Structure 1
Amino acid sequence: MKRIIELLPGVFIVMALLAGCSSDSSSEEAGEEDGGTPSEISFGAATEGGFWYTLAGAMSDKMTEIYPDSSTSIIEGGSISNLLGLGQGTYHIAFSNGQTVPEALNGENQFEEPITNVSTVATLYPNVLHLVVREDSDIYSIEDLAGKTVSPGIKGYSGELAFQDVLETVGMSYDDLSGIEYVGTSDAADLLRDGHIDAISNMLAAPASTIQELDTTLGIRLIPIGEEIASALHDKNEGYLEYTIEAGTYPNQEEDIVTTAGYTVLLTNNDLMSEEDIYELTKMIVEEREAWENISPVMAEFDAEYSAENNVGVLHPGAEKYYKEVGALE
């Protein structure tokens, strides 16, 4: 199977693609008429250099063995645009964040209408809310962010939306802050180091290399949101799950940090791939877990039981069949 890399810069171009693609052409390309495996599989990932992009590339290489007559196109996207692409039939499979899935299914926030033709293949690892300040900062709680300048990540990305949800949970909004810097984590780290911002908030796999480097060279503290806020977030959106960043995850971290996480999930369009195709895909992803862990330790806990236990949304019948077969589901 040949792997093709398509470099599409984010949400706006993806939306343009959606507008130009009809469901008829998607079905023809997918080979739906004869029920066969699609000759080309579109895989929605994220920007080149990020873990989603790297993981999508590694998975597409392994897909050679289960779909020998198909090729895979890895497309740059993001949590929201990937779900939109799945819903419109532009993508066959794609990554998204767990807290975004219920919003898509219910037609909330960034989704004008419910997306009902997608289901979950596997839950892979947690993207953990990191709220990071300098070691000498006077910020010790969410409420202490009042009057401060914060980088919540890229505007419109799931990390930024999660930060807004956290603020709302404690009765705050951006109006309570002195400023917002919409930049990626690496640029935010430079701003924190130079004193241009007071805090970084983002959803990151833990440990995050940028935060490790900051802790080593600058000295940082992680701000807990606590069990009460974590529970309130879950009540608002089932995709938010309480998570503990254990002491020692970062070089100078001496205490456990209770926060929240949205798990990275792999989803599929229900109409473009068969139950057998998704069964084989699920099996491959689980049985090749060591390959993913070799890429990043964030995949260390992943297995069939982990995937089934942390599932968000509706499992695809092919995935459900595999998890039941191996005893991960009853």
Structure 2
Amino acid sequence: MKKLFGLLVVAVALMLAVGCSSDAGSDGADGDSGESATETPSEITFGSATVGGFWYTLSGAMADEMNDVYPDSSTTIVEGGSVSNLLGLGEGTFHIGFSNGQTVPEALNATGAFEEKIENVSTVATLYPNVFHIVVRADSDIYSVEDLKGKKVSPGIKGYSGELAFLDVLELSGLSYDDLGGIEYIGTSDGADLLRDGHIDAITGMIAAPVSTFQELDTTLGIRLIPLENEIVDQLHEMNEGYMQFTVEQGTYPKQDEDVNTVAGYTVLLANDDLMTEDDIYNLTKMLVEKKDTWSTISTVMKDFDAAYSVENNVGNMHPGAEKYYKEIGAME
């Protein structure tokens, strides 16, 4: 069957992930049945992110390469997010999906946004740091988190890991949404348009560094990144070990003239343990590693990714299929 690449735009990915588990895939596997797949699904659903972020671009590129890995299957990219993707994976709505490293421990332990443990999801690969950004116009009077008082902010899509990280940053800074001038829940690309037009004062999110949307915005408008104090970075790590200190180095964005201190969490690719076979994930992992130059061509954020990097920075429980491949090539004992 000729491989088709589909694109499904979902307005509320969190509702989709929770409410559509009965549509768990055309192979008949049920995310709650406890039965493992015995053959490759004819349709693979990939939980990604909103248009404008690197997850969206990367998932599209990976889906194209999956033509050769699964020649008799089609792949549908779904606009999701770190939390909604994990919920969707747990419910059997998604076969594979991206999430952030600080979100995975919360899902496994039923903390943060997760009321119940998600135990049927494993890690395929750890890809790159997903960096917490606070972005303002270059001519803005905002220079610190505290300066966001009275300002209109887009924290991304409601319930996504970027918003949850922003809430943590506000709390540790002695602030809340009540102290801001307004909240606009919107994706990265649309948020950039609102910032450009002066309808909001700042965008926050956990995204790649650099991300093309902000590169373009810095080139045409001029932006600044707001740093986090070391004390806030340390407290975030104490709250969740998935947060790690990260420096957005000078020159990451075209007009950025100094290093910016913040936090990051690794981007990971996860799989539902019941919907795809061990061989399916073995072959997917092999493709991800062998095509690593393709990913780094798309963005420099993937420049460090390889099998050793993935194993060294593994987040959560590694999928047996991925483990088999990493051991086979000597990246894992």
Q: Are 1:15 and 2:18 counterparts?
A: yes
Aligned residue in 2 for 1:175 = 178
Asked whether the 8 Å contact 1:150–1:199 carries over to 2, the reply is: yes
Determine the C-alpha separation between the residues in 2 that align with 1:34 and 1:132.
Answer: 44
1:265/1:38 Cα in 2 relative to 1: closer, same or farther (>3 Å)? same
- The runs of at least 4 consecutive aligned structure 1 residues that moved more than 6 Å come to none
Name which of 135, 140, 158 aligns with 1:132: 135
Q: Secondary structure at the match of 1:109?
A: coil
Q: Secondary structure at the match of 1:206?
A: coil
Aligned residue in 1 for 2:312 = 309
Name which of 221, 224, 233 aligns with 1:221: 224
Aligned residue in 2 for 1:297 = 300
Instruction: Point out the more displaced range, 161-170 or 270-279.
Output: 270-279
1:232/1:3 Cα in 2 relative to 1: closer, same or farther (>3 Å)? farther
Name which of 229, 247, 251 aligns with 1:248: 251
1:135/1:37 Cα in 2 relative to 1: closer, same or farther (>3 Å)? closer
Determine the C-alpha separation between the residues in 1 that align with 2:95 and 2:37.
Answer: 17
CA positional deviation for 1:20? 5.8
Q: Are 1:122 and 2:114 counterparts?
A: no
CA positional deviation for 1:25? 3.7
Aligned residue in 1 for 2:206 = 203
Superposed CA offset, 1:74-113 (max 9, x none):
3333222221121122222111222221221122233221
Determine the C-alpha separation between the residues in 1 that align with 2:211 and 2:57.
Answer: 15
CA positional deviation for 1:48? 5.3
Aligned residue in 1 for 2:59 = 56
Letter in 2 for 1:151: S
CA positional deviation for 1:220? 2.5
Determine the C-alpha separation between the residues in 2 that align with 1:202 and 1:47.
Answer: 12
Q: Are 1:103 and 2:96 counterparts?
A: no
Superposed CA offset, 1:158-203 (max 9, x none):
2111111111222321122222222333333343344443322122
Aligned residues: 328
Q: Are 1:87 and 2:112 counterparts?
A: no
Determine the C-alpha separation between the residues in 2 that align with 1:92 and 1:19.
Answer: 13
Q: Are 1:260 and 2:302 counterparts?
A: no
1:77/1:222 Cα in 2 relative to 1: closer, same or farther (>3 Å)? closer
Query: Counterparts of 1:226-245 in structure 2 under 5 Å?
Result: 226-245=229-248
Asked whether the 8 Å contact 2:52–2:187 carries over to 1, the reply is: no
Determine the C-alpha separation between the residues in 1 that align with 2:327 and 2:233.
Answer: 30
CA positional deviation for 1:293? 2.1
TM-score normalised over the length of structure 1 = 0.88
Calculate the aligned-residue CA RMSD, in Å.
2.8
CA positional deviation for 1:62? 2.4
Determine the C-alpha separation between the residues in 1 that align with 2:214 and 2:141.
Answer: 19
Asked whether the 8 Å contact 1:3–1:60 carries over to 2, the reply is: no
CA positional deviation for 1:33? 7.0
Q: Secondary structure at the match of 1:181?
A: strand
Instruction: Point out the more displaced range, 91-100 or 160-169.
Output: 91-100
1:133/1:266 Cα in 2 relative to 1: closer, same or farther (>3 Å)? same
Unmatched runs of 5 consecutive residues or more in structure 2: none
1:37/1:247 Cα in 2 relative to 1: closer, same or farther (>3 Å)? same
Unmatched runs of 5 consecutive residues or more in structure 1: none
Determine the C-alpha separation between the residues in 2 that align with 1:226 and 1:249.
Answer: 20
Aligned residue in 2 for 1:66 = 69
1:269/1:21 Cα in 2 relative to 1: closer, same or farther (>3 Å)? closer
Determine the C-alpha separation between the residues in 2 that align with 1:326 and 1:133.
Answer: 45
CA positional deviation for 1:255? 1.3
Instruction: Point out the more displaced range, 313-322 or 188-197.
Output: 188-197
Quick one: percent identity of the two aligned structures? 67
Instruction: Point out the more displaced range, 165-174 or 241-250.
Output: 165-174
Q: Are 1:269 and 2:268 counterparts?
A: no
Query: Counterparts of 1:31-46 in structure 2 under 5 Å?
Result: 35-46=38-49
Letter in 2 for 1:243: F
Q: Are 1:185 and 2:191 counterparts?
A: no
Determine the C-alpha separation between the residues in 1 that align with 2:152 and 2:245.
Answer: 26
Determine the C-alpha separation between the residues in 1 that align with 2:133 and 2:46.
Answer: 28
Q: Secondary structure at the match of 1:152?
A: strand
Instruction: Point out the more displaced range, 8-17 or 257-266.
Output: 8-17
TM-score normalised over the length of structure 2 = 0.87
Q: Secondary structure at the match of 2:156?
A: coil
Asked whether the 8 Å contact 2:251–2:257 carries over to 1, the reply is: yes
Determine the C-alpha separation between the residues in 2 that align with 1:240 and 1:100.
Answer: 9
Asked whether the 8 Å contact 1:8–1:14 carries over to 2, the reply is: no
